[in-house]
């Protein structure tokens, strides 16, 4: 606050823009949202102060963060939505089962869950730092007390405020002890919505008293634990502010978060490109409203150049006050001072080109990921009988088989049952209901359901048809086993339809290691998937 930088640079420093984690423009997976390299260079030269990276591989991210840093003359905030381990978005790092698994474990064994939550944060912080990130956009502090929530769901740390508060505090300690910033989101709480804010603006009818009881405790705890940043929610809370969604509301950001909760760290908006905001306000106006409401940083403005110009115009017109923006910049500077910096900013040692990630996750982190899978799995019933019928099928239900990150042709969910005699068959939303006419209506059926974002809603009409299917298969004595990967709500709704002895598993994680473990637990282990390696070349 002592220097008086160029206003344009000051404003630009409060923007966080989006880049692919991959180096080449042609490799961007979402070119509509990810700036190309020429634009990124220009934005960073302008003084833009942060970049959010989505998607790619760990090794390439190490190069990418170094490249972005080289395009800027100031320290950057480099962040990613790595709520479920760095490997969730960057292949080759640790990919952890989603937090709700620990939320459920907390109900059975709170001490173990808290210990694992702290390790979860450590693993994420350590790997983020090793790859050049200094800001983890987690934990989700939303209490997922609405099983129909399409957007939070398994990303949450639980379904009741006390457990969530304890777990997120442990996670934050883990991340920040590694010299990386954490981010409590989505303030003031996104757990009780059934609208996806990526598509439309959810409305939360709760009074302040209700928020104090359910939504706010995790944020209060996160703040008490020293969380470096808080991300706003694109939610309308008419009882607090009937006009402005939380992201743009002075009542929510300034009165509630800053004054009542006493948060002195960085307030960052959720992505302003999201339709809940973008379709209601211009690219420039949304950014101005967010800063006016009390946000320090503007994440993914729909058009960064328009955002800069609009904020400068608002400074000129007196809508925004330069002192406030300087204070935001000072908060940003203080946050950066808490990070440990790039562990390997200079050249590259050929022996360890990735710092901590030369050969993937460390033995310690691998052991942790494995323990997390084991501790969060729920198993019931016995072992799957080897089918005697040639018509035995392993049905695998996924949202989308194309580019599915957890299902390659040699994934355990396909290879292990195949080795045991179940012919794999992938079902997706396109697959017609008539699939059973393919002979699938005669032999034993092993059912594996990968469902997380769209939990079972209790009715066959708008939900998944599995309760009905399972009932039929059980009646016909053809259900060989059931694995639900992801949603505990789908699991909860289906387990009542299962005979006690039927082999069944809920695994919060969907990744190949989770598949291997779940299938192992019901007797379908395969040490060497040799026969299913699919040949030795692509």
Map the footprint of its own copies across residues 202-241, applying CB under 8 A.
Answer: none
Q: Which of 1, 2, 432, 477 binds its own copies (CB under 8 A)?
A: 432
Q: Which are the contacts of 132, defined by CB distance < 8 A and separation ≥ 6?
A: 61, 62, 64, 65, 66, 69, 78, 342
Active site residue 190: no
Q: Which of 270, 296, 342, 513 is catalytic?
A: 270
Map the footprint of its own copies across residues 80-99, applying CB under 8 A.
Answer: 81, 89, 91-92
Residue with tokens 């502010």: 241
Q: Cis before residue 22, ω within 30 degrees of 0?
A: no
Q: Which are the contacts of 426, defined by CB distance < 8 A and separation ≥ 6?
A: 396, 397, 398, 401, 407, 414
Q: How far is the CB of 172 from its own copies (least distance, A)?
A: 23
Map the footprint of its own copies across residues 511-530, applying CB under 8 A.
Answer: 528-530
Give exposure, 23-53, as e/b (b: 16+ Cβ within 10 Å): eeeeebeeeeebbebeebbebbebbbbbbbb
**Which stretch, 21-29, 246-254, 309-317, 477-485, contacts its own copies (CB under 8 A)?**
21-29
Q: What is the largest CA-CA distance in the chain?
A: 79
Closest by CA to 224, choosing from 186, 172, 188, is 172
Q: If binding is defined by CB under 8 A, does position 63 make contact with its own copies?
A: yes
Looking at the Cβ atoms of 37 and 471, the one nearer to its own copies is 37
Q: Which of 198, 275, 309, 492 is catalytic?
A: 198
Q: Which of 407, 479, 483, 516 binds its own copies (CB under 8 A)?
A: 407
Map the footprint of its own copies across residues 190-209, applying CB under 8 A.
Answer: 198
Say how many CA atoms lie within 13 Å of 252 toward its Cβ.
37
Q: How far is the CB of 509 from its own copies (least distance, A)?
A: 15
**Neighbour tally for 125: CB within 10 Å:** 28
Q: If binding is defined by CB under 8 A, does position 430 make contact with its own copies?
A: yes
Q: If binding is defined by CB under 8 A, does position 400 make contact with its own copies?
A: yes
Map the footprint of its own copies across residues 265-304, applying CB under 8 A.
Answer: 271, 273-274, 300
Q: Which of 1, 111, 337, 402 binds its own copies (CB under 8 A)?
A: 402
Active site residue 207: no
Q: How far is the CB of 66 from its own copies (least distance, A)?
A: 5
Map the footprint of its own copies across residues 357-376, applying CB under 8 A.
Answer: 357-361, 366
Q: Are 470 and 495 in contact (CB under 8 A)?
A: no
Closest by CA to 188, choosing from 137, 81, 104, 261, is 261
362 to 90, 131, 296: CA distances (angstroms): 15, 13, 36
Q: If binding is defined by CB under 8 A, does position 409 make contact with its own copies?
A: yes
Q: If binding is defined by CB under 8 A, does position 425 make contact with its own copies?
A: yes
Q: If binding is defined by CB under 8 A, does position 25 make contact with its own copies?
A: yes
Q: Are 397 and 448 in contact (CB under 8 A)?
A: yes
Give the count of residues interacting with its own copies (CB under 8 A). Answer: 73
Q: If binding is defined by CB under 8 A, does position 27 make contact with its own copies?
A: yes
């Amino acid at each position: 606050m002592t220097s008086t930088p160029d206003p344009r640079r000051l404003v630009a420093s409060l923007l966080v823009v989006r880049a692919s984690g991959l180096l080449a423009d042609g490799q961007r997976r979402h070119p509509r949202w990810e700036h190309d390299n020429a634009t990124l260079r220009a934005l960073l030269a302008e003084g833009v102060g942060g970049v959010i990276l989505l998607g790619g591989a760990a090794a390439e991210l190490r190069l990418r963060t170094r490249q972005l840093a080289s395009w800027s003359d100031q320290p950057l905030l480099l962040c990613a939505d790595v709520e479920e381990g760095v490997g969730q978005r960057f292949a080759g790092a640790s990919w952890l089962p989603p937090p709700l698994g620990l939320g459920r474990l907390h109900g059975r064994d709170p001490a173990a869950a808290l210990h694992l939550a702290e390790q979860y944060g450590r693993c994420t912080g350590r790997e983020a730092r090793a790859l050049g990130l200094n800001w983890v956009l987690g934990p989700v502090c939303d209490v997922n007390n609405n099983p129909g929530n399409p957007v939070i769901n398994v990303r949450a740390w639980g379904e009741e405020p006390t457990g969530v508060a304890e777990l997120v505090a442990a996670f934050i300690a883990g991340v920040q002890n590694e010299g990386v910033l954490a981010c409590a989101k989505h303030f003031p709480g996104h757990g009780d919505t059934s609208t996806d804010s990526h598509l439309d603006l959810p409305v939360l009818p709760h009074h302040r008293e209700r928020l104090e009881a359910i939504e706010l405790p995790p944020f209060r705890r996160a703040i008490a634990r020293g969380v470096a940043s808080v991300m706003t929610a694109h939610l309308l809370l008419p009882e607090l502010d009937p006009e402005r969604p939380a992201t743009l509301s002075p009542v929510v950001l300034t009165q509630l978060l800053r004054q009542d909760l006493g948060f002195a760290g960085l307030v960052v908006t959720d992505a302003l490109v999201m339709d809940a905001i973008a379709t209601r306000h211009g690219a420039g106006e949304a950014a101005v409203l967010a800063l006016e409401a009390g946000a320090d940083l503007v994440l993914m403005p729909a058009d960064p150049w328009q955002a800069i110009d609009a904020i400068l115009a608002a400074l000129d017109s007196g809508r925004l006050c330069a002192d406030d923006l300087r204070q935001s910049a000072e908060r940003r500077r203080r946050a950066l001072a808490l990070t440990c910096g790039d562990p390997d900013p200079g050249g590259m040692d050929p022996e360890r080109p990735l710092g901590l990630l030369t050969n993937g996750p460390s033995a310690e982190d691998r052991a942790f990921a494995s323990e997390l899978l084991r501790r969060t799995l729920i198993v019931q019933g016995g072992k799957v009988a080897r089918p005697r019928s040639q018509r035995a099928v392993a049905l695998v239900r996924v949202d989308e088989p194309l580019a599915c990150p957890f299902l390659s042709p040699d994934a355990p969910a396909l290879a292990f049952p195949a080795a045991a005699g179940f012919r794999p068959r992938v079902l997706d939303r396109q697959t017609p209901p008539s699939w059973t006419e393919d002979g699938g209506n005669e032999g034993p059926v092993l059912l594996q359901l990968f469902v997380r974002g769209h939990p079972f809603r209790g009715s066959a009409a708008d939900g998944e048809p599995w309760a009905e299917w399972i009932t039929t298969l059980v009646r016909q004595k053809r259900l060989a086993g059931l694995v639900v990967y992801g949603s505990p709500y789908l699991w909860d709704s289906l387990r009542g339809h299962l005979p006690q002895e039927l082999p069944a598993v809920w695994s919060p994680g969907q990744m190949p290691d989770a598949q291997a473990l779940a299938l192992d637990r019901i007797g379908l282990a395969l040490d060497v998937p040799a026969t299913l390696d699919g040949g030795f070349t692509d």
